[in-house]
Structure 1
């Protein structure tokens, strides 16, 4: 095991940005269907997506920052772990602790508007949703609101979430999940 705490710290910052902590994305319209009328998802898939998004918003709002790492897609975690030379479970624990520490003095309220999501499938049939939302951050008496877009993707039958905060995050998604190379994704 050859990794440094500095590399893990950089990974923690990258993961924090990848989540909704810095997600300023402008929505573009891919070839997708409205969440409310989609025929691309079964009712079970829609219910599990809604439950997952609501759980993420709840964890974010309740300050359970260490747990938000669990929402990241597993192939992205594996890719980051390989980059820093750490086992994925170690990376998740370390990043979760670092995010928790970095956000102790910040009050975050997140809201994802699943009713406005756009749903699609990749060329390989993987379902995904682009979910608009907002997060309100309060620290040191200052408050600001960030508009964001979250990509929800299904991997091994479970929904995972990643904030599309910038072009680098979109490239990371496409590297970990090549089926997204042909999908139009918004970036900040």
Structure 2
């Protein structure tokens, strides 16, 4: 029975991806039975491990290569130089900032399908950091875009207007997608 449900879900998903449609929400049942959903779960798990380890190569590995290429080209550097510079900045920031917690809430994510048939997810994300003498504890809430490019899920934060603009230039199918605004507030507990 379980195998039948997986086959039915896979057939449904393939049919959905083959038919152009407007952005639509996938039901929790549909997303839980999707192999793509489990690939996204694995991608988020590997990202969380990279965050804990401070491994910038792995952290940057969740950014779509097209986005990395655009950033590198904009600043006249190679992708390797971009990753190395980002690692340096991250290391410097971590001297005064402590990540208290980081969570992408995949259970509360909203799943959509673009007109092209490509699925994507908006994943509520919360980061709590201690800025020490520079401002105490802060909570940043935003959405992370789970973007499927080819067979690989990539993760893009969407609270930065410039980043969203760049994303829409690189992936024009997102031109009409409205991304939720992020927020930052002091932690008062």
The TM-score by the shorter chain falls in which range?
A: 0.7 to 0.9
Which blocks of at least 5 consecutive residues in structure 2 are unaligned?
A: 1-21, 183-189
CA distance in 1, matches of 2:73, 2:181: 24
- CA pair 78-35 structure 1, distance change in 2 beyond 3 A: farther
Which protein shows a greater Rg?
2
- CA pair 35-56 structure 1, distance change in 2 beyond 3 A: farther
> What is the match of residue 137 of structure 1?
129
* Conserved 8 A contact 2:124-2:142: yes
Q: 2:55 aligns with which of 59, 64, 82?
A: 64
CA distance in 1, matches of 2:27, 2:124: 12
Deviation string 1:8-56 (CA, Å, 9 cap, x unpaired) is xxxxxxxxxxxxxxxxxxxxxx9442562336x8622111101111222
Alpha-carbon deviation of 1:182?
2.5
SS at match of 2:175: helix
Paired residues for 1:3-152 under 5 Å: 31-33=23-25, 36-38=28-30, 43-65=34-56, 67-108=58-99, 109-140=101-132, 142-152=136-146
> What is the match of residue 26 of structure 1?
none
CA distance in 2, matches of 1:125, 1:135: 31
Which blocks of at least 5 consecutive residues in structure 1 are unaligned?
A: 1-29
Alpha-carbon deviation of 1:165?
1.4
Structure 1 range deviating more: 128-137 or 178-187 = 178-187
TM-score by length of 1: 0.73
**Cα-Cα RMSD:** 2.4
Alpha-carbon deviation of 1:66?
5.2
TM-score by length of 2: 0.73
Alpha-carbon deviation of 1:180?
0.7
- CA pair 70-104 structure 1, distance change in 2 beyond 3 A: farther
